[in-house]
């Protein structure tokens, strides 16, 4: 009996010594040392308006589909002139720490500066803590010479602690520049937003300064125009490497789904005096 126990103990110690030990997939322990990536990548932004076009590669809802994500990343890296990349959330299925680690390993392969929005699947369990460690606060913003880019945590059902509608209102109202909003859930999602919250979100969406709102969550490409002319883009999931090239030019937005032929041109709302 003693001999068998010794063998089992030795085998266990050998296995444990071969890989980093983590207590469970539900903890907020990351094996990768990536930290505050959104802030880190802000420091990597150059003059994104230098050539008169802002080119944003937008992807969403990879949900652990790592081969499809690799295809999207490789294609984005082959695309000339991309100023920055935005992932609109749901990098994971269940917010397990190993899902975050795997995503971070692939995410590091993007050549351009990259920014992350938290999705509802990323905010389950320890997900909010994992997100804060890897990417920093889930509500943040930065500006170019003529545009403010606002990234907002819309997943209040899963992450009420960081759901801050007043932050979004202030980020838009305080801007002296036109605004683009990036979020996971559409601001008019009827399953999540009701009453006064919905009213405030619609006021933000229709604000004269808000030129476009980009979201994921629904997995299919859709482009709508609100009653005041705000462009509403729902990004497709990364199935088979799908992503969207969202270009801002002086004459409007040029939007191309990677799996479609040709680009769509849409003008800015009439209340805007935008130019690069």
* Residue 109 covered by a domain: yes
State which residues form the domain around 184: 35-266
Cα 222 from Cα 225, distance rounded (Å): 10
Instruction: Give the pLDDT confidence score for residue 23 in this predicted structure.
Output: 73
For 101-128, write each residue's pLDDT tens digit: 999 999 999 999 999 999 999 999 999 9
Instruction: Give the pLDDT confidence score for residue 9 in this predicted structure.
Output: 47
For 186-242, write each residue's pLDDT tens digit: 999 999 999 999 999 999 999 999 999 999 999 999 999 999 999 999 999 999 999
| Stated pTM of the model | 0.91
DSSP secondary structure letters along 9-30: HHHHHHHHHTS---S-TTSS--
**In the predicted structure, residue 13 carries a pLDDT above the cut 50:** no
* Residue 26 covered by a domain: no
* Residue 42 covered by a domain: yes
Give the CATH number for residue 224. Answer: 3.60.21.10
Q: Which residues, other chains included, contact 19 with Cβ-Cβ below 8 Å and sequence gap of 6+?
A: none
CB-CB contact of 87 with 57 (8 Å):
no
* Residue 9 covered by a domain: no
Instruction: Give the pLDDT confidence score for residue 8 in this predicted structure.
Output: 44
The token pair at 46 is: 């150059």
The structural domain count of the chain equals 1
Residue found under tokens 């068998």: 4
Tell me the sheet residues that pair with 245.
57, 256
* Residue 20 covered by a domain: no
């Amino acid at each position: 009996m003693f001999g068998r126990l010794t063998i089992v103990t030795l085998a266990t110690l050998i296995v444990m010594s071969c890989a980093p030990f983590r207590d469970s997939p539900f903890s907020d322990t990351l094996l990768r040392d990536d930290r505050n990536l959104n802030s880190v990548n802000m420091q990597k932004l150059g003059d994104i308006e230098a050539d008169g076009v802002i080119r944003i590669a937008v992807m969403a809802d990879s949900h652990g589909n790592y081969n499809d994500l690799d295809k999207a990343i490789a294609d984005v890296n082959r695309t000339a002139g991309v100023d920055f990349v935005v992932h609109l959330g749901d990098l994971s299925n269940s917010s397990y720490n190993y899902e975050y680690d795997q995503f971070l390993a692939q995410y590091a392969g993007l050549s351009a500066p990259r920014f992350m929005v938290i999705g509802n699947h990323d905010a389950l369990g320890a997900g909010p803590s994992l997100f804060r460690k890897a990417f920093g606060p889930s509500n943040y913003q930065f500006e170019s010479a003529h545009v403010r880019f606002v990234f907002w945590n819309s997943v209040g059902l899963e992450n009420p602690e960081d759901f801050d509608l007043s932050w979004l209102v202030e980020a838009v109202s305080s801007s002296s520049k036109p605004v683009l909003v990036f979020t996971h859930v559409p601001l008019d999602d009827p399953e999540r937003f009701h009453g006064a919250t919905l009213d405030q979100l619609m006021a933000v969406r229709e604000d004269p300064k808000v030129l476009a709102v980009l979201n994921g969550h629904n997995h299919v490409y859709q482009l709508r125009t609100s009653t005041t002319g705000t462009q509403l883009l729902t990004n497709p999931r990364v199935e088979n490497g799908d992503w969207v090239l969202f270009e801002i030019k002086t004459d409007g937005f040029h939007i191309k789904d990677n799996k479609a032929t040709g680009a769509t041109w849409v003008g800015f709302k009439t209340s805007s005096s935008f130019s690069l």
